Amino acid sequence: MLTQEQNELLTRTDPGTPMGQLFRRYWIPALLAEEIPTPDCPPARIKLLGEQLIAFRDTQGRIGLLDEFCSHRTASLFFGRNEECGLRCAYHGWKYDVDGNCVDMPSEPEQSKFKERIKQTAYPCVERAGIIWTYMGPPEHTPALPELEWAMLDDDQRFVSKRLQESNYLQAMEGGIDSSHVSFAHRFNLDDDPMHSGTEGNKYLKADTRPKFEVAESDGGLVIGARRTADEEHYYWRITQWIMPWYTIIPPFGTHNPLGAHAWVPIDDETCWAWSINYHPTRALKPDEVRSMQDGHGIHVKYIPGTYRTLANKGNDYLIDRQAQADRKTFSGVEGISMQDASLQESMGVICDRTKERLGTSDAGIILARRRLLAALEQLGEGDGELPGVDPEHQRVRSTSVLLPTSVPFHEGAADALKAVPGQDFVSI
């Protein structure tokens, strides 16, 4: 259980907040490259960490991310003209380049140098893995570019989607590191979901609903081991990597299925982007796998056409099917792994009141993740060394699911399986 003050500290990410300052020290997945696909295409609105921004791709293909509102009279640059290496406000024609420089001011006298004194807030961007990433922190602390395993693979080895989640980032992310809920929330879909089907681990998840948790700090965050009894001599371990500040890697279900990962990025204090990634480190994704992902199966979702809002959402009670629930086709009556998670996380309110929680032993990973975030805030305030998860070496990790002898500690028995080695397959049962 957290105090109200601690809950506020962890969940508030707008400009000027401690957690907002921490998150601005990392590269942030901002939008899909498909949202601004070609030079001089229409700009896209994006909100991150409480800031309303506009993204555009200029004539030369460079990416700009600017404060949405023009420095002149605060008209939205969403209505601007993307032309000739700049975004021109539709109100009075002020034009900005990708660095936020005002390069033309046709409403002022020709000899005026006023434009040289105007600087629109702008954040640097890079394109990697089909994602536009941005850094919103102090320039002198710009970290190395992200090197999560899925971000470094060829395009045909990876599928990335995002969805709007109508809750604070923290309860969404905490769901990603909670391995005990799989035995309940997803219980009746483990055998038919494309990411889970045909795996030995399903029987252990169903047979033992009381996993024992062991958690260890890593350089980048946490390694969270959930132990279930397999037989008299072995434990079934599902080991989750949590990488600061908001990444999780799902323990895999067999080697025939791709790996899965998430990122939980705050839009503001009441909504977040839930990024979902499937990838395989040694082969291209199969056509049927990609079709399944495109159709919203596994960790991906079906959308309201033309948006990144889910078709099943809080406005329609997530299309809950009580008959399917009664017939044990789904545990909660909600279709799809991601929407089962989202419906329950959003049901907690936009910001969960953690003063009312009563946490048990299965919540060890969640407890330590909160402590890790609070410790990082202290580290940032003291200016003490590199933050966890910033170094690309911290990101070169994998999750795994393995059988180990009962006498072997998970961090020893699974040590090699938890490393991401280029060109080497992952370990799973």
Q: What is the pLDDT of residues 313-337, one digit of tens each?
A: 999 999 998 998 787 878 788 888 8
Q: What is the pLDDT of residues 375-420, one digit of tens each?
A: 999 999 998 789 999 999 999 999 999 999 999 999 899 999 999 9
Phi, psi angle pair for 355, to nearest 5°: -70, -15
SS (H, E, C) 319-357: HCCHHHHHCCCCCCCCCCHHHHHHHHHHCCCCCCCHHHC
Q: What is the pLDDT of residues 348-359, one digit of tens each?
A: 999 999 999 998
Residue 85 has a pLDDT of 98
Report whether pLDDT(128) > 90.
Answer: yes
195 vs 193: CA distance, rounded Å: 6
Closest CA to 79 of 68, 90, 67, 94: 90
Report whether pLDDT(185) > 60.
Answer: no
Closest CA to 250 of 166, 313, 208, 193: 193
Using CA of residue 211, residue 212, residue 218, residue 220, what is the dihedral sign? positive
CA distances from 262 to 75, 217, 231 (A): 35, 19, 31
Per the confidence metrics, is the pTM higher than 0.85?
Answer: yes
Which residues have C-beta within 8 Å of that of residue 316, sequence separation ≥ 6? none
Residues 379, 245: contact at Cβ < 8 Å? no
Residue 187 has a pLDDT of 56
Helix and strand counts by DSSP (H, E) for the chain:
11, 18
Residue 180 has a pLDDT of 58
Report whether pLDDT(300) > 90.
Answer: yes
Residue 184 has a pLDDT of 53
Which residues have C-beta within 8 Å of that of residue 293, sequence separation ≥ 6? 159, 161, 278, 285, 300
Q: What is the pLDDT of residues 132-169, one digit of tens each?
A: 999 999 999 999 999 999 999 999 999 999 999 999 99
Residue 327 has a pLDDT of 77
Segment 71-98 shows an average pLDDT of 98
Alpha helix positions (H), 169-328: 169-176, 182-185, 201-207, 287-294, 322-326
Residues 269, 167: contact at Cβ < 8 Å? no
Report whether pLDDT(22) > 80.
Answer: yes
Using CA of residue 166, residue 167, residue 170, residue 174, what is the dihedral sign? negative
Using CA of residue 399, residue 401, residue 402, residue 404, what is the dihedral sign? positive
Percent of the chain residues topping a pLDDT of 70: 95
Residue 395 has a pLDDT of 98
412 vs 394: CA distance, rounded Å: 18
Which residues have C-beta within 8 Å of that of residue 231, sequence separation ≥ 6? none
Q: What is the pLDDT of residues 406-418, one digit of tens each?
A: 999 998 999 999 9
Query: Could you count the other beta carbons within 10 Å of the beta carbon of residue 327?
Result: 11
Closest CA to 318 of 293, 345, 292, 352: 345
Residue 319 has a pLDDT of 93
Return left, alpha or beta for 16; rule: phi > 0 is left, psi -120 to 50 is alpha, else beta.
left
Residue 186 has a pLDDT of 64
Which residues have C-beta within 8 Å of that of residue 329, sequence separation ≥ 6? 188, 321
Domains observed in the chain: 27-141 (2.102.10.10), 149-418 (3.90.380.10)
Residue 190 has a pLDDT of 58
Query: Could you count the other beta carbons within 10 Å of the beta carbon of residue 34?
Result: 11
Detail the DSSP E strand segments found in 106-252. 125-128, 131-135, 158-165, 212-217, 221-229, 234-243, 247-250
230 vs 209: CA distance, rounded Å: 12
Report whether pLDDT(193) > 70.
Answer: no
Query: Is pLDDT larger for residue 332 or for residue 244?
Result: 244
Residue 191 has a pLDDT of 59
The mean pLDDT of the chain is: 93
Report whether pLDDT(131) > 80.
Answer: yes
Report whether pLDDT(188) > 60.
Answer: no
Residue 195 has a pLDDT of 62
